[in-house]
C-alpha cells in the first residue's frame, strides 16, 4: 500500500487525508498540536457517518477509511512515506524549517509537496539539500468536494517527480492542472477581477451590492454574487489574498485592493462570521431589492466578464498555464458556469477588447490594459 504523510491536521490537511484514504492510501496525519488531531479525527468520523446515513457509503467502507489514517504528533511517522504533503500555517520561515526536518526523516525517493496558496514553492524548495524532489500540490477547500488540484513545479523540481505526483492525484479522481510557480497560481489570480471589478462598480455607485449580486448570479450564472461570496469567505481572508497577489506582482495596478473592502476589515465587519460584511446579517434586517433592469445589468456583467476573460487570457499569455488548464481551473476550482476563454469567444474577442479599451480611455488605469493574447486574436 502506498503511504502519504500529511503535516497539519487543519481544514486542508484532514481533507487531503480523507481523499487519500478513500483512494486506498495509508495516511500518516501529523499535527504539532495533539488537540488538532483529535478534532480532525472526530470531524472526519462525523463526515463519514453522514455519508452512511445518506446511503452513499457502507459501514465497512467508513471503517476502512478510518483504519487507514493514523493520527499522530511526530514526524518520525513519515519514515515510510512515498509522498508528504505539508498543510500547516501559511508562514515561509516555519514551512522551510519543517521541510528541513522532514527531509532528514523520509526516504530519498519520497516526493515532498506544499499545499501553500500564496508562498513561492521555489523559495520553500531552496531550503532543502535536494530541492529537485519538492513541488506544490494545491488543493481547494473543502478538499474532498473540490475536484481541482493545481500542480506547481518549483523551478528546481525534477520533471519526473512532478509527473508522478500528478498521476497519483489524477488517480484520486481529481482534475489536475499544471501551473507555473507565480503568485496566486491560476485560480487565485484569475478570479481577482470577479471581486475587484464588482467592488469598483459599487464604489463608483453605478449599482448597489444587491444589484451586482443579482447580475452575476441571474444574468451571469455564477453560483454566488461577489458580495455574498466575499461575505461568506471572510473579508480578512479575501482581502489578504488580493493584497498578497498585488504585492507579489510588484504592485501591478491590475490587482490593487479596494478601499471598500479594507474599510470592512478595519471595522471588523468580516462577513457572515461576524454578522456583518457588505450585508448586515442581523435579525430583522431587511435586504435591499436589486434593480433588475436588464440593460444596465448586461453592461455590468460584461464589464466584469471582460476583466475576467482578460485575466485568463493574460495568464495563458504569460505561460503560467495552458488554454485548456485555465478553462478547467475556473470551472472545476471555483465552479464558474463556463470557461472564460470560451465565454470570451462567444461574446467575441473584438467586443471584449473594445470594451476594455473604452474603459482604459475613460480611466487611464493599468487594470484595463488589454492582454496581447486577446489583441492577437482580433
Ligand X SMILES: NC(=O)c1ccc[n+]([C@@H]2O[C@H](COP(=O)([O-])OP(=O)(O)OC[C@H]3O[C@@H](n4cnc5c(N)ncnc54)[C@H](O)[C@@H]3O)[C@@H](O)[C@H]2O)c1
Which residues does the annotation mark as catalytic? 117, 138, 150, 188
Task: Find the binder of ligand X among 42, 45, 74, 141 (CB under 6 A).
Answer: 141
**What residues between 51 and 110 interact with ligand X by CB under 6 A?**
87-90, 94, 98
From 5, 8, 183, 184, residue interacting with ligand X (rule: CB under 6 A): 8
Regarding 6 and contact with ligand X (CB under 6 A), the answer is: no
315 makes contact with ligand X (CB under 6 A): no
User: Least Å distance between CB 122 and ligand X?
Assistant: 15
- Near ligand X by CB under 6 A: residue from 18, 19, 20, 31: 31
Looking at residue 330, the DSSP 8-state letter turns out to be I
| Residue that the C-alpha cell 497539519 belongs to | 8
Q: Which is nearer to ligand X, 6 or 212 (CB)?
A: 6
Question: 227, 313, 333, 221: which is closest to 272 by C-alpha?
Answer: 227
How is residue 280 annotated by DSSP? B
Which among 27-35, 239-247, 256-264, 366-374 is the span making contact with ligand X, rule CB under 6 A?
27-35
* Strand 148-153 relative to strand 134-139, pairing: antiparallel
C-alpha cell at 296: 444596465
Q: Grid coordinates standing for 131?
A: 530541492
36 binding ligand X? (CB under 6 A): yes
Give me 52's grid cell. 452512511
Phi, psi (5° rounding) for residue 7?
-105, 120
Q: Which residues pair with 85 in a beta bridge?
A: 6, 113
Cβ(3)–Cβ(28) below 8 Å: yes
Binding of ligand X at residue 13 (CB under 6 A)? yes
DSSP 3-state of 223: coil
Across-strand partners of 299?
A: none
Judged by CB under 6 A, does residue 166 bind ligand X? no
- Total residues contacting ligand X by CB under 6 A comes to 23
CA gap 354, 377 in Å, rounded = 13
Question: Quick one: 265 or 341, whose CB is closer to ligand X?
Answer: 265
Question: In this complex, which beta carbon is closest to ligand X, that of residue 88 or of residue 359?
Answer: 88
Grid coordinates given for 266: 478595519
Q: Is 294 in the site for ligand X (CB under 6 A)?
A: no
Residues in region 198-257 near ligand X by CB under 6 A: none
* Residue with nearest beta carbon to ligand X: 10
* 136 and 114 Cβ atoms separated by less than 8 Å: yes
Q: Which is nearer to ligand X, 117 or 166 (CB)?
A: 117
Q: How far is the CB of 292 from ligand X (least distance, A)?
A: 33
**With binding defined as CB under 6 A, does residue 293 bind ligand X?**
no
Whole-Å CA distances, 181 to 114, 152, 193, 329:
12, 6, 20, 15
Q: Which stretch binds ligand X (CB under 6 A): 112-120, 196-204, 251-259, 319-327?
A: 112-120
Does 9 bind ligand X (CB under 6 A)? Our answer is yes
- CA–CA distance, 359 with 372 (Å, rounded to integer): 16
Q: Which positions touch ligand X (CB under 6 A)?
A: 7-13, 31-33, 36, 87-90, 94, 98, 115-117, 139-141
Amino acid at each position: 500500500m502506498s503511504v502519504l504523510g500529511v503535516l497539519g491536521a487543519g481544514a486542508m490537511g484532514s481533507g487531503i487525508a480523507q481523499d487519500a484514504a478513500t483512494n486506498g492510501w495509508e495516511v500518516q496525519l501529523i499535527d504539532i498540536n495533539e488537540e488538532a488531531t483529535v478534532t480532525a479525527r472526530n470531524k472526519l468520523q462525523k463526515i463519514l457517518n453522514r455519508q452512511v446515513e445518506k446511503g452513499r457509503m457502507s459501514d465497512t467502507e467508513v471503517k476502512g477509511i478510518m483504519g487507514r489514517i493514523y493520527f499522530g504528533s511526530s514526524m518520525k511517522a513519515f519514515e515510510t512515506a512515498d509522498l508528504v504533503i505539508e498543510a500547516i500555517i501559511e508562514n515561509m520561515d516555519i514551512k522551510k524549517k519543517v521541510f528541513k526536518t522532514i527531509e532528514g526523516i523520509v526516504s530519498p525517493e519520497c516526493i515532498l509537496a506544499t499545499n501553500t496558496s500564496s508562498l513561492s514553492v521555489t523559495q520553500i524548495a531552496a531550503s532543502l539539500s535536494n530541492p529537485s524532489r519538492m513541488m506544490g500540490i494545491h488543493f481547494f477547500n473543502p478538499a474532498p468536494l473540490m475536484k481541482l488540484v493545481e500542480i506547481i513545479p518549483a523551478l528546481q523540481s525534477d520533471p519526473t517527480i512532478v509527473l508522478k505526483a500528478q498521476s497519483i492525484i489524477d488517480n484520486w479522481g481529481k482534475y489536475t492542472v499544471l501551473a507555473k510557480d507565480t503568485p496566486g497560481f491560476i485560480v487565485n489570480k484569475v478570479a481577482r477581477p470577479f471581486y475587484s471589478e464588482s467592488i469598483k462598480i459599487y464604489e463608483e455607485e453605478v449599482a448597489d451590492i444587491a444589484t451586482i449580486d443579482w447580475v452575476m448570479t441571474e444574468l451571469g450564472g455564477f453560483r454566488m454574487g461577489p458580495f455574498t461570496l466575499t461575505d461568506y469567505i471572510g473579508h480578512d481572508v479575501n482581502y489578504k489574498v488580493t493584497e498578497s497577489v498585488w504585492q507579489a506582482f510588484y504592485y501591478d495596478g491590475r490587482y490593487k485592493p479596494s478601499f471598500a473592502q479594507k474599510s470592512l476589515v478595519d471595522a471588523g465587519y468580516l462577513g457572515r462570521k461576524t454578522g456583518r460584511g457588505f450585508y448586515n446579517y442581523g435579525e430583522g434586517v431587511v435586504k435591499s431589492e436589486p434593480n433588475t433592469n436588464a440593460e444596465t445589468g448586461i453592461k455590468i456583467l460584461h464589464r466584469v466578464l471582460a476583466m475576467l476573460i482578460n485575466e485568463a487570457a493574460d495568464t495563458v499569455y504569460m505561460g503560467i498555464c495552458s488554454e485548456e488548464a485555465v478553462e478547467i481551473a475556473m470551472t472545476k476550482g471555483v465552479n464558474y458556469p463556463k470557461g472564460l476563454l470560451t465565454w470570451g469567444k462567444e461574446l467575441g474577442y473584438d467586443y471584449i477588447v473594445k470594451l476594455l479599451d473604452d474603459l482604459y480611455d475613460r480611466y487611464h488605469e493599468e487594470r484595463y490594459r488589454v492582454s496581447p493574447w486577446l489583441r492577437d486574436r482580433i
